[in-house]
Structure 1
Amino acid sequence: MKPTDPGAAAAPETSTPSPAAPRFLLWLVAVGFFMQTLDSTIVNTALPAMAASLHESPLRMQSVVVAYSLTMATLIPATGWLADRFGTQRIFLLAIVLFTLGSAACAASVSLTQLSAARVLQGIGGAMLLPVGRLAVLRHFPRERFLEAMSFVAIPGLVGPLIGPTLGGWLVEWLSWHWIFLINLPVGVLGALATLRFMPNLRSPQRSGFDFSGYLMLMVAMLAISLSLDGMGGLGFQHATVVVLLLLGLAALVMYWLYALRTPAPLFSPRLFETESFRVGLLGNLFTRIGSGAMPYMIPLQMQLNMGYSPAQAGMLMLPMALAGMGMKRVVTQVILHFGYRRTLIGNTVLLGAVIATFALMTREEPLWLRILQMALFGAVNSMQFTAMNTVTLRDLDAARASSGNSMLSMVQMLGMSLGVTCGAALLGAFTQWLGTQGAAHSLGAFRASFVAIGAITMASAGIFWQLVAADAVPANNEKAQP
């Protein structure tokens, strides 16, 4: 599919919204973004309680997280075409309905298999919430107001991860893990009614066909590679199955690349990678987010299984991480302007990996103030990394490639989060076996070795940003870092 530039449409088809619709449209999209990001993190502190309820090992619960993020990664490329074909109101309404039904199914699950399947349904809805909502804002607001509008929408998206782990911990401790999903039901009903009232049904008059062949190849590649990695951890696949899945995923990826080279309008054109900053930024995003994505999964497990923290306490200790990340947004632009993208990303990636490795030093006797400082440091460095990576990836794309590049970046971000959890679980499983602690599944040694390995992987990805050339290493004076 060759994504259509929404700004190029002279007269998009639309239903007529009420005079008050612009303000309520922003609130609607913001709440949708909040629901999506909240459910990306709210389950992390609840995994041990879920495992006890479902009679599973806590170290086998990664599929609850992976199913959601991987589903989002596989569906994001199709959201733009769906909105162009059926209209933003219809697809946004469908997204809310599926997300709400998936939440209800999660709360009703009595096994890990049912819960993972329900998270897939929830992820289908979540995949469409932000891209379709952002597209509606882009087409409804004039260009001079778009940045202001999207800044308003982005705030709840930052609040979701901020309160997700804490809220999840409190709900588990005072009610039950089922309420993590039940709280979405009234929000979903109100959101569906608001969508019918305030969301314009915008469609592009210049609708292009959808590259189903390319989409299928990419989807097979992402699923097969993710399942092969997960097979080494929670799924317990035989080595032969893991190898077959990994080869299938790599073959599908190569097939897509060869197919896209000879297709006039592929889903993602290989010409995107002719832009140096996009190529480096995208690959850096993927590999660095593997390390960053593993941490929100592993840290709450470590604190509850080995440090004696309750779910609420573990959730509260995640707050400094989120608060420091939000605070760092104010200084990122100045840091990048002073050091340039290349030096900022190389140095910050190495620092991020080192901070991840320090979590191997966590002990029960560690002072609370030191643990809070460690969490805040990780949140600040991680926030710097995300902002610099996102900005350098998109900064040099022209208008014709910006939409496709942004869609690919969104897909890679969710894929990186999914692979991070998968790799974290696989490392925990492998080190548990290698250290001979199968009977003590919550081995402190396995967690420590996994943190060191993930930190080393993250530091190694700094070599990707080394490839930024001088022209890409220095930002323009009027350039702003993106959230």
Structure 2
Amino acid sequence: MSRTLLIPLIVACALFMENMDATVIATSLPALAHDLGQNPLTLKLALTSYVIGLGVFIPICGWVADRFGTRTTFRAAIAIFMIGSILCAVSSSLFVFVAARFLQGVGGAMMVPVGRIIIFRAVPRSDLVKAISYLALPSQLGPVIGPPLGGFITTYFHWRWIFVINVPISILGMYLATRFVEDIRADELKPLDRTGFVLSAVGSTLFMLGLSMMDGELISSKYALMMFLVGVLGLYGYLRHANREPFPLLDLRLLKIPTFRASVLGGSLFRIGLGAVPFLLPLSLQVGLGMSAFHAGAITCASAVGAIFMKTIGTGILRRYGFRSVLIWNALLAGLALSSYGLFTPSTSTTVMVAVVLLGGFFPSMQFTCLNSMAYADLEDTDVSRATSLASVVQQISLGLGVTIGGLTVHFSSQLQGHSTIVAADFWPAFIVIGLFSVASIPFTRKLAPDAGAIMTGHKHKPA
């Protein structure tokens, strides 16, 4: 088996586990909220805390991989994620559950970015788009299996069992990494930016926590606003620090590269929109339309089926039209597809819902393939670790912001409409908002050259 196929499949074990975990928990949130005595919207903290773990530790993943080796770091990350999963399974309070999800985030912070570094260093640049497609295809099985499996376990057994699934997958991933992945270290280790780590960790943590608790369910909105503002100051302090630091934790100077800038900044807006879907869609189907967790999960998994179908034709589309055209038109179609989720009512047939959700998986998957591939198009080999750290931080925080913004929109929509409990009519404004975020990425991608990233896609631009 060629390394272009073998290495992505090994890393896909980690992505499969992470993607399945995210989708499994999404269909279980109403049951989780009931057992923990919380409002279902409050359980957005279970998703946000994971993102906080990612945001805090992703910035040092490149340094850790260079210092201790890619294989060692990758295996340790899988082990930490597995321990967090076990703690989630035995938790009995919101605090313990959120802390366990944070620990999972610490593992995920090292697991996925380091996996991408492994692929980049093992696969020739000309085969990188193909390798990423191989990587994405098995990882899409997580979203396919996760929603119906999580719904089935929650409906007929207990939500705690959904976290036990990660244990055998983790063991398999560690075994394969030990056998086939090289333990590569950097020839010259750059110093760790400890000041930058503290500023970014404090800033991102308080920023995300303050924003997610702005609804006043757990703490006063005033204190949540104070946390949010302190977080903003911390992030601003990091920006000033990074401009003076010769080896900053997150090197913002990489944003001067057009393809990388479009991938990171334009992609962040798109991911805010899509990040809300795994949280909002199952919640709207269960709480809004009264479906069982299993029924909601079966509909939600159609999104992953659409994503898998896209992988079979995505390379050909990119070769014909190029990154710029695909990113612009696909963002518009994805925004329309996501917004249409808000049109679901109790009288909407399951067939129609599945068809719409299928499209809502196809177009975003195409966008992700473009954004993730294009990020590496013009990078030097020496910049890969730093670029991966920066891109991964922005990506994950964007997904977490999507969950937070989606939850807050539903909360305020319910209040404005005078509803004492969440009903179906409270969700459509949230789906409109996330659709608009996806469309808002277009101005960034429009600035790309028509032949941007052509070395990776083989696209030959024909001047008008």
Fold-level similarity (TM above 0.5): yes
In the TM superposition, what is the alpha-carbon distance from 1:146 to its structure 2 partner? 7.4
Partner of 2:454: 476
Partner of 1:271: 253
Distance 1:457 1:191 in 2: 35
**Structure 1's 136 and 475: CA in aligned 2 closer, same or farther, altered over 3 A?**
closer
Partner of 1:256: 238
Partner of 1:346: 328
In the TM superposition, what is the alpha-carbon distance from 1:297 to its structure 2 partner? 0.8
Q: Where do 1:115-130 residues align within 5 Å?
A: 115-130=97-112
The residue type equivalent to 1:274 in the other structure is K
Partner of 1:361: 343
The residue type equivalent to 2:252 in the other structure is P
SS at the partner of 2:276? helix
Partner of 1:414: 396
**Structure 1's 113 and 214: CA in aligned 2 closer, same or farther, altered over 3 A?**
same
In the TM superposition, what is the alpha-carbon distance from 1:359 to its structure 2 partner? 1.6
Distance 1:478 1:195 in 2: 27
Among 440, 447, 455, the residue aligned to 1:460: 440
Distance 1:134 1:343 in 2: 26
Partner of 2:187: 205
Among 48, 65, 69, the residue aligned to 1:66: 48
In the TM superposition, what is the alpha-carbon distance from 1:404 to its structure 2 partner? 2.1
Partner of 1:86: 68
In the TM superposition, what is the alpha-carbon distance from 1:338 to its structure 2 partner? 4.6
In the TM superposition, what is the alpha-carbon distance from 1:96 to its structure 2 partner? 2.6
Contact kept? 1:36, 1:129, Cα under 8 Å: no
Contact kept? 1:233, 1:425, Cα under 8 Å: no
Contact kept? 2:288, 2:425, Cα under 8 Å: no
| Unaligned ranges ≥5, structure 2 | 460-464
Among 227, 235, 259, the residue aligned to 2:209: 227
Distance 2:367 2:6 in 1: 33
In the TM superposition, what is the alpha-carbon distance from 1:162 to its structure 2 partner? 2.2
**Structure 1's 384 and 270: CA in aligned 2 closer, same or farther, altered over 3 A?**
same
Distance 1:148 1:465 in 2: 22
**Structure 1's 369 and 23: CA in aligned 2 closer, same or farther, altered over 3 A?**
closer
Contact kept? 1:59, 1:234, Cα under 8 Å: no
Q: Where do 1:431-470 residues align within 5 Å?
A: 431-437=413-419, 439-440=420-421, 442-466=422-446, 468-469=447-448
Q: Where do 1:54-453 residues align within 5 Å?
A: 54-136=36-118, 152-192=134-174, 200-233=182-215, 235-437=217-419, 439-440=420-421, 442-453=422-433
SS at the partner of 1:280? helix
Distance 2:450 2:116 in 1: 28
**Structure 1's 465 and 237: CA in aligned 2 closer, same or farther, altered over 3 A?**
farther
The residue type equivalent to 1:291 in the other structure is G
Contact kept? 2:307, 2:363, Cα under 8 Å: yes
Deviation by residue 1:164-199 (Cα, 9 ceiling, x = unmatched): 112211111222101111122333345555655665
Once superposed, what is the RMSD of the aligned Cα atoms?
2.9
Distance 1:199 1:417 in 2: 29
In the TM superposition, what is the alpha-carbon distance from 1:33 to its structure 2 partner? 2.7
In the TM superposition, what is the alpha-carbon distance from 1:447 to its structure 2 partner? 0.9
- Could you tell me the percent identity over the aligned residues? 34
Distance 1:155 1:378 in 2: 17
Contact kept? 1:357, 1:452, Cα under 8 Å: yes
SS at the partner of 2:375? helix
In the TM superposition, what is the alpha-carbon distance from 1:354 to its structure 2 partner? 2.2
Partner of 2:462: none
Among 22, 29, 34, the residue aligned to 2:11: 29
Contact kept? 2:129, 2:456, Cα under 8 Å: no
The residue type equivalent to 1:456 in the other structure is L
Deviation by residue 1:243-296 (Cα, 9 ceiling, x = unmatched): 333332332222222222222111233321222232233111111111101011
SS at the partner of 2:33? helix
Deviation by residue 1:304-362 (Cα, 9 ceiling, x = unmatched): 11222211111111222111112123333444455444443333323322222222211
In the TM superposition, what is the alpha-carbon distance from 1:55 to its structure 2 partner? 1.8
Q: Which moved more, 1:358-367 or 1:22-31?
A: 22-31
Distance 1:42 1:419 in 2: 20
Q: Which moved more, 1:184-193 or 1:210-219?
A: 184-193
Distance 1:281 1:317 in 2: 30
SS at the partner of 2:454? coil
**Structure 1's 27 and 393: CA in aligned 2 closer, same or farther, altered over 3 A?**
closer
Distance 1:317 1:182 in 2: 23
In the TM superposition, what is the alpha-carbon distance from 1:48 to its structure 2 partner? 0.9
The residue type equivalent to 1:260 in the other structure is A
In the TM superposition, what is the alpha-carbon distance from 1:425 to its structure 2 partner? 0.9
Q: Which moved more, 1:53-62 or 1:143-152?
A: 143-152
In the TM superposition, what is the alpha-carbon distance from 1:45 to its structure 2 partner? 0.6
In the TM superposition, what is the alpha-carbon distance from 1:221 to its structure 2 partner? 2.6
The residue type equivalent to 1:385 in the other structure is Q
| TM-score, with structure 2 as normaliser | 0.89
**Structure 1's 156 and 233: CA in aligned 2 closer, same or farther, altered over 3 A?**
farther
Contact kept? 2:282, 2:297, Cα under 8 Å: yes
Contact kept? 1:324, 1:376, Cα under 8 Å: yes
**Structure 1's 332 and 189: CA in aligned 2 closer, same or farther, altered over 3 A?**
closer
Partner of 1:52: 34
The residue type equivalent to 1:277 in the other structure is T
Distance 1:132 1:462 in 2: 29
Distance 2:11 2:433 in 1: 39
